[in-house]
Amino acid sequence: MQLKPGNVYSYLNSFQCSFVTTNYEKYLLPESRKADPEHEWRFYRREQLLRGNLDRNGNVVHLHGCVDDPEGMVITTRDYLDHYSTGEVQEFLRYLFEKKTVLFLGYGLDEIEVLEYILRRGGGGFVSEGRIRRYMLQGFFNAEKGLYDLLRDYYKDSFATELIPFPKDHKEYAQQTEILAAWSKTLRFGGMALADEVAAMYEEIRG
């Protein structure tokens, strides 16, 4: 699959980390794994939701299934209820949120309910070693400042997740692409202390 230069996924694919996605499509094609067979790094079946598949940079885990297996895709409300009630999914999310620094990307305000469901099933407000390790890059218009303030407090108190806001008034979601382009040059996942990673993210937002 050929992505145009400047596409948001072209920057994500340069990140040296593992990925968990709720998308069915296969736009995540990490550069670090492009020489390896796809079955060695792309996982989308429920039995593949394993801790070990989170521990190698470049692995892509599809939490809701993949277009390669339409029958296994999580689509309906019943699918969601069944999927998130299983021990495999809950253990996978618990490990993800307890042991990893997680950056949520691409969730619009209309998808907040899905994100909340994932966070609840992964252990709610658990904070590893007393530090927040979950961040969400979220765009807001200036007129939505009141909503942002409410969501910031809600996510921090309820799910130990910190919102990283960016303005949408001038460039809308194109601003997010520019942020990811900058992060792709500065962030070194797994090679920096947590405090340094967070500082680097905020530096690009405020820069």
How many Cβ atoms from other residues are within 10 Å of residue 160's Cβ? 19
Predicted confidence at residue 190, as pLDDT, reads 58
Q: Both ends of the chain: CA-CA distance in Å?
A: 33
Predicted confidence at residue 4, as pLDDT, reads 59
Predicted confidence at residue 180, as pLDDT, reads 86
Predicted confidence at residue 101, as pLDDT, reads 85
- Residue numbers of the chain with a pLDDT score lower than 70: 1-6, 123-132, 188-207
Instruction: Dump pLDDT digits (tens) for 89-110.
Output: 999 999 998 888 888 988 777 7
Predicted confidence at residue 132, as pLDDT, reads 63
CA 187 vs CA 19, 41, 80, 166, 180: distances in Å: 15, 22, 33, 18, 10
Predicted confidence at residue 193, as pLDDT, reads 47
The ranges assigned to domains in the chain are 1-100, 102-207
In sequence order, the β-bridge partners of residue 137 are 164
Instruction: Output the pTM of the full model.
Output: 0.84
Q: What angle do CA 85, 88, 92 make, to 5 degrees?
A: 105
